[in-house]
Amino acid sequence: MSQFAQETAVEQIAETVWRGELCEGWRVGAVPNGGYVLAVAGRALSAALPHKDPLTVSAFYLAPTELGPVDCKVEILRLGRNTSFAEVKMYQQGELRVKVTAAYTDLAGLQGENWSAAPPPQFPGWDACEPSGQKGIEFRQRAELRLVSGNEVFRKREPNGSGEFQGWVRHRDGSDPDAISLLMFADAFPPPVFTIFGPLGWVPTLELTVQVRAHPAPGPLQGRLYCRHLTRGVVEEDGELWDSSGQLVAISRQTAKLRVPKS
């Protein structure tokens, strides 16, 4: 069993409650990565719903989470033939920390037209790319990152001004990604505002929505996280993830706040 599968596992402790554990290894500072927390909710939804795969999942982060047990209270909102809808309230110490709403489906059964305005990335291979120069981020013990662009800001303190990080991500233990892991990998790049202002400050996520499009093929994921509009401290972070075969597997958007420390 992969480390990710172990550390996002949930067990049913009541008719509508699944308990997970937020584990060491996933934190940025003191707080577990928001995508990792969302993946735990994703496991509870897979367990509770007849459809097992996330299609669209949206989380609001009400209060910082911490290491330890997390109770996922699932409310089914509607069960359809192709799509199930549910919400999850995530509690720690009796306090509501994260609120998730989701549409689940059977990804393998999706049928319809295909079209793309954006070709898959043509990155150099994993081995040819630089390990992320981020220092002291516990989360990198689990989500291993090789950057293709943006790394100058960590290696040389030179923001390139692009508002974008590009690169490869994978589980550190080498296990292959599954559909639930895309909820975590959608939040696995550094905040793109770092490429503009430097790796300063704190960029807490208010809300994160992930659209999953397909089960990923084995191997690392190629992706990008970028921002286009920072408005008085509020910024979106848009992500795209492709699998190793070049198939788009997820897109994401979050609302974050940039807190620059007073210098």
Using CB under 8 A, list all residues that contact a second copy.
55-56, 58, 60, 62-63, 77-78, 83, 85, 87, 96, 99, 101, 103, 110-118, 163, 193, 196-197, 206-207, 209, 211, 213-214, 226-234, 236, 240, 248, 251, 253, 255, 257-260
Residue closer to a second copy, measured from CB, 5 or 206 = 206
As measured in angstroms, the least distance from the Cβ of 156 to a second copy is 21
Residues 43 and 8 sit within 8 Å (Cβ to Cβ): yes
* DSSP states of 144-166: EEEEEESTHHHHTS---S-SEEE
- Tell the smallest beta-carbon distance from residue 79 to a second copy (Å): 10
In the complex, minimum distance from the CB of residue 165 to a second copy, in angstroms, rounded to a whole number:
14
* Two structure tokens written together for 22: 């937020």
Q: Work out how close the CB of 22 gets to a second copy at its nearest, in angstroms, rounded to a whole number.
A: 19
Find all residues with CB under 8 Å of 196, minimum gap 6, and list them: 159, 161, 162, 163, 230
User: Please, which residue, 11 or 95, has the CB nearer to a second copy?
Assistant: 95
CA 168-174-177 angle, to 5 degrees, is 65
CB nearer to a second copy: give 129 or 179: 179
Count CB-CB contacts under 10 A for residue 173: 12
Q: Which is nearer to a second copy, 5 or 62 (CB)?
A: 62
CA distances to 57, 67, 258 from 74, in Å: 14, 21, 31
Closest contact distance (angstroms) between CB of 164 and a second copy is 9
| Distance, CA of 155 to CA of 34 (rounded, Å) | 25
